[in-house]
A and B are shown apart, each in its own frame.
Chain A
Amino acid sequence: MPTTAQHVPSRQPSASQETPAVRVRGLRRTYGRGADAFDAVRGIDLDVARGSITALLGTNGAGKTSTLEVLEGINRPDGGTVEVLGLDPVGDRARVRRRIGVLLQTSGFSGDLTVEETLRMWAATVTGARPVAEALEMLDLTGRAATRVRSLSGGEVRRLDLACTLLGHPELVMLDEPTTGLDPESRREVWRLVRRLREDGCTVLLTTHYLEEAEALADRLEVMHAGLLVRSGTPAEIAAGHRSTISFRSLDPALGDRLAADLRLPARDVEVGAEAGTTSLRTPDLQPVLTDLLTWCREHDVHLEGLDARTASLEQVFLAIADGSAPA
C-alpha cells in the first residue's frame, strides 16, 4: 500500500501496481433511516485490476451509482471497506483525488461560460493539469473552444465533461454512464477514448446499462442487480452455461414434433418451443444439435426459412437476471 502522496504518472510502473486499483469488501450503502430506509448496496466484494476496463452493468436502481459514489469519496460506506489505489477515498481524500478522474452520470456546467473558460477553471483546480489546448484537442473540442456551454450539443457537453475528468492525467477513472443519451457516433467516439486510456495504462471503471457497450469495451463485467453483484467475469464467462438458441420460421406446424422425436431432443436436454411463428431449440450444446438438425434437413429435403443460430448472449443472461428467472 503506498504511503506517499506523490503523483504516479500512469505510464510508469510503480510498486503499487500489484494491488488492485479498487478493492471493495462487504460494501453496504443505505439511504434514509428507520422504516423508510432503503438498501441501495447490500454487501458487495469487488476488485478492479490495474490497467483493465471493468464495467459495472445493471438496470436502473441496481446500485451502480451508489457504489461509484462511495468509491469516488462523495459518500461514506454504511458498512464494509473500500480502498482506492490502496487508500481510503474519504480519509485520504486529497491524495486520492489527485490521482483519479470522475465523470458523474449528469454533467454540471454553467451555461454562460465558454468551453475554454470552463476548462481553464477546472485546470486551476487540478494538480499537474494538462494544457487546456491539449485537453480541447484530445476531446475534439478545439473548434468549439469559444462556444458557450449552453449552445453545445449533448454529445459535446459530455465530451467537455470527459475533458475535465482527464485533465489531471488520472491513473484511475470512474465513469458513471459515460454514453447515456449520446448519439451512436458520439458513443463510438467515447469508446475509442476509453480504449485509448487503457492503452496508456489507465484503469477504467465504468457503469452502463448498455450490454453492447459492456461487451465492446470491458475486460471484465460485474453484473449488479438489486444491490448485489450477481455475476462476474469476462463476457464469455458470464454467458457460458447459458443455452444457445437455434430458431427458424415454423412453416410446418408438425416439424418441431418430428425433430424432437427423430433427433431425441428431450433426452439431450434441448427445449423445443414455438412462439409467434418461430420454432426455437434451446440447447446447452450448440454445435452437435445444429449439425444433426442440418443433416436431418438434407436427408428429408426440408428447407428452413429464417434459420438463425447463436450462442448465449450477454443480453439473454442479463434479461434473465433482471426479470428474476436466473438465480442471483
Chain B
Amino acid sequence: MSTTTRTTPRASVPDARRVGGLAAANARLLVRNRLTLVDGVLLPLAPLVMLAVTADEPAAGASTVSLALLFAYLFPVFYNLLSVVVTRRDELVLKRLRTGETTDAELVLALALPGVVVAVLVAAVVVPVAVALGMPWPADLALYALMVVTACVMFVAFALWTASWTRNAEAAQLTSAPVLLLAVAGSVVALVPEGVAEVLQRTPGGALDTLVQLAWLGGGADGTWAQALQPLLVLLAWTALALLLAQRSMRWEPRA
C-alpha cells in the first residue's frame, strides 16, 4: 500500500465558497495598494477616453477598441497576476494556503479572478460607450465574447509561466517583456512591410487585433466566422502553448 504507487487524486470541481473568499481578499489587496490600483484598475480605462476622438470613424474606432482590450489583458490580467503570484509566492502565502483544503486550481482561479473581472468589465463597457460615441454595433457579439474569454485564459497562463522564472516582484518589469512584445506586435501590423506583417499576424496580439476588427466591423461577403477561423486558430494555439508552459513550470514557493 505504498503511497508512491497510488494515483494522483482526482481533480475536483473548484469550490465556489473557497474561491470567493480568496478572490475577495485578492481584490481587496488589489485596490489597497496604490500601484496595483493604478495598473490593474485605472490604466485599462484610459483608452476609453480615446474613443471620444476616434469613434466617428469605424476603422479607427475599432483600433481604439482593440487597444482598450489590449490594455485590459495586459494590465489587470497579465501584469497584475504576474506580480501577485511572485509576491504571494515570496511571502509564502501560496505555500501556507496549500497546506489547507484549498486546491491548486482554486488558488490560481482566486488569484486571477479580480484582474479577469476588470478585463471582462472593460470589454463589456467598451461596447455601449463606443456605440454611444458613434460606432456601429459590433457585427458579431458571440465572436467578440469568445475572443475576450480565450484571451483572458491565455494571458493568465502566460502570467503563471512568466512568474515561474521571475525572481522577485521588481524583476517582473523585465521578465514581462517577452509576453508584452507578443501582445503589442499586432498594433504595428499596419506600419510594417507585408512580409513582416504576415508574421506579426500570427502573434497573439496580431490575432487579437484581427479578431476585434472582424467581430466589430464584420467579414464582408466571405462571412465573419470564415475569416475569423485562421486568427482564432492562432489564438487557440498560443493559448494551448501558454497553458502547457504554465502547467509545467508552476512554482509555489521561493527557490531554496
Contacts and interface: CB of A to CB of B under 8 A. Distances in A.
Interface in A67-107: 72, 74, 76-82, 88-94, 97-98, 102, 104, 106-107
Contacts of A108: 91-97
Contact of B3 (A82, A113, A120, A126): A82
A193 interface: no
A110 B85 CA distance: 12
A132 B5 CA distance: 40
Contact of B92 (A80, A90, A93, A106): A106
B102 interface: yes
Interface size class of A (residues with CB under 8 A): 35 or more
B22 interface: yes
B99 to A, nearest CB: 4
Nearest to A118: B25
A124 interface: yes
Contacts of B24: 121, 124
Contacts of B223: none
A97 B101 contact: yes
Contact of B1 (A76, A81, A127): A81
Given A108-B91, A125-B18, A72 B28 contact: no
Interface in B2-51: 2-4, 6-9, 12, 17-18, 20-22, 24-25, 28-29, 32-33
A113 B100 CA distance: 19
A104 B96 contact: yes
Contact of A117 (B28, B91, B96, B97): B28
B88 interface: yes
A14 B4 CA distance: 29
A122 B32 CA distance: 19
A113 B7 contact: no
B9 A113 contact: no
Interface size class of B (residues with CB under 8 A): 20 to 34
A111 B29 CA distance: 9
B6 A91 contact: yes
B101 A125 contact: yes
A94 B3 contact: no
Given A76-B4, A79-B4, A121-B25, A102 B99 contact: yes
A112 interface: yes
Nearest to B102: A125
A162 to B, nearest CB: 12
Contacts of B9: 90-94
Nearest to A96: B101
B136 to A, nearest CB: 44
Contacts of A121: 21-22, 24-25
Nearest to B92: A108
Contacts of A259: none
A110 B98 CA distance: 15
A309 interface: no
B22 A125 contact: yes
A88 B99 contact: no
Interface string A231-249: 0000000000000000000
A123 interface: yes
A296 interface: no
Nearest to A109: B93
A126 B15 CA distance: 11
A90 B4 CA distance: 9
A107 B25 CA distance: 17
Given A102-B100, A110-B29, 13 more contacts: A89-B3, A90-B6, A91-B9, A94-B12, A98-B101, A104-B92, A112-B32, A117-B28, A121-B24, A121-B25, A125-B21, A125-B101, A164-B100
Q: Which 10 A-B pairs have the closest CB atoms?
A: A124-B21, A108-B92, A108-B96, A102-B99, A121-B25, A91-B6, A108-B93, A97-B101, A125-B18, A125-B102
16 contacts: A80-B2, A91-B9, A97-B100, A102-B99, A108-B93, A108-B94, A108-B96, A109-B96, A110-B88, A112-B32, A113-B28, A120-B25, A123-B21, A124-B20, A125-B22, A125-B102
Interface of A: 72, 74, 76-82, 88-94, 97-98, 102, 104, 106-113, 117-118, 120-127, 161, 164, 168
